[in-house]
């Protein structure tokens, strides 16, 4: 088959949870650029619609939908809307997730100071927030005998970072679930169903900006340590995810399932 045809995504329908975030929005825009009808799912239409308007301004097709990734009924309503309007769904990207300060251990704290309530929120957002959309929307894929799920993992899943206990544990579970679901769907519904994950390294976002950068833009001590252990010597940029994303969404990876692709500038390969 012609390579251009293998990469052809035009007319596909995708849904991105957390699609209004830094990485989610970037992924939505690159898919739309390649002709994918892109759905942006979030808890507020205002934020998701902002990404939709950027896509439309650039000539792409997109739509905004509102749902909490921890609410099955709301997700089912979105599923029914997509089937009613487009008749199919081809790609699900589980980009919703994140961390909160209460699930981390500050340098002057110990594990005994961590609050269960905050830990539970991080585990729910990242784990249930990936598993539940996968459960709801993969039903479409099972009926179609085709569909792609891409989960968002993290380098912290493979190499736990000091202080970041809750998020590291949650993302490690994402890696495990990705492999489990890949086997579950392909073995029961056919080779047309694939599940993989992308593990970003360190990208500057709202949640980690103050941890990695000082107000003047210089590196914090934490930021310096990370760059020292990143062979490419910089933080990631949203566009750095494009290649892995397009590969996993296209037929270029049609015999690839159950893997995690690191996009980290070599951080995960570095040792002290």
For residue 118, what pLDDT band results from cuts at 50, 70 and 90? very high
Across 130-155, average pLDDT: 97
226 compared with 145, residue with greater pLDDT:
145
Given a cut of 60, whether residue 1 has pLDDT beyond it is no
At 210 the pLDDT is 66
The whole-angstrom separation of Cα 75 and Cα 133 is: 7
Q: What are the pLDDT digits (tens) for 200-231?
A: 988 877 667 766 777 877 777 777 788 888 88
Q: What are the pLDDT digits (tens) for 33-79?
A: 999 999 999 999 988 999 999 999 999 999 999 999 999 999 999 99
DSSP per-residue string spanning 39-104: EEEES-HHHHHHHHHHHHHTT--EEEEE--TT-HHHHHHHHHHHHHHHS---EEEE------GGGS
Q: What are the pLDDT digits (tens) for 10-20?
A: 999 999 999 99
149 compared with 212, residue with greater pLDDT:
149
**Cα 255 to the chain's mean position, in Å?**
21
Catalytic residue among 34, 86, 112, 167: 167
Q: What average pLDDT does the chain have? A: 92
206 compared with 197, residue with greater pLDDT:
197
Q: Picking from 11-25, 116-130, 198-212, 255-269, which range would have the lowest pLDDT averaged per residue?
A: 198-212
Q: b or e along 210-236 (b: 16 or more beta carbons within 10 Å of the residue's beta carbon)?
A: ebbbeeeeeeeebbeebbebbeeeebb
Q: Is 112 an active-site residue? A: no
What is the pTM for the complete model shown? 0.93
At 97 the pLDDT is 92
Report the percentage of the chain scoring pLDDT > 90.
67
Task: Look up tokens 């001590």; give the residue.
Answer: 221
94 compared with 160, residue with greater pLDDT:
94
Nearest to 35 by CA among 250, 252, 255: 250
Please report the beta strands in the chain, taking only residues with DSSP state E, as ranges in sequence order. Answer: 13-17, 37-42, 62-66, 91-94, 147-152, 193-200, 260-263
Q: Picking from 85-94, 120-129, 149-158, 204-213, which range would have the lowest pLDDT averaged per residue?
A: 204-213
At 211 the pLDDT is 65
At 270 the pLDDT is 82
The whole-angstrom separation of Cα 35 and Cα 37 is: 7
Structure tokens at 102: 């209460």
At 272 the pLDDT is 59
Across 175-195, average pLDDT: 98
At 158 the pLDDT is 87
34 compared with 160, residue with greater pLDDT:
34
The whole-angstrom separation of Cα 103 and Cα 92 is: 27
């Amino acid at each position: 088959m012609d390579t251009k045809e293998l990469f052809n995504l035009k007319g596909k329908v995708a849904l991105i949870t957390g699609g209004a975030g830094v990485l989610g929005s970037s992924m939505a825009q690159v898919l739309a650029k390649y002709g994918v009808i892109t759905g942006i799912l979030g808890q507020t239409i205002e934020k998701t619609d902002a990404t939709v308007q950027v896509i439309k301004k650039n000539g792409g097709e997109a739509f905004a939908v509102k749902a909490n990734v921890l609410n099955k009924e709301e997700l089912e309503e979105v599923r029914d809307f997509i089937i009613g309007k487009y008749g199919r769904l081809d790609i699900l990207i589980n980009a919703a997730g994140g961390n909160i300060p209460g699930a981390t251990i500050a340098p002057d704290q110990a594990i005994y100071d961590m609050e269960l309530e905050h830990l539970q929120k991080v585990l729910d957002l990242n784990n249930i927030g990936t598993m539940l959309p996968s459960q709801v929307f993969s039903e479409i894929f099972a009926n179609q005998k085709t569909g792609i799920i891409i989960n968002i993992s993290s380098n912290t899943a493979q190499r736990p970072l000091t202080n970041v206990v809750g998020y590291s544990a949650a993302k490690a579970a994402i890696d495990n679930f990705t492999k489990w679901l890949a086997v579950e769907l392909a073995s029961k519904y056919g080779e047309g169903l694939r599940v993989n994950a992308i593990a970003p390294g360190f990208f500057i976002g709202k949640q980690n900006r103050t941890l990695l950068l000082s107000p003047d833009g210089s590196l914090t001590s934490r930021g310096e340590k990370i760059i020292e252990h990143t062979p490419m010597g910089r933080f990631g940029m949203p566009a750095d995810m494009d290649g892995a994303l397009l590969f996993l969404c296209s037929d270029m990876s049609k015999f690839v399932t159950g893997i995690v692709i690191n996009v980290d500038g070599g951080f995960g390969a570095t040792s002290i």
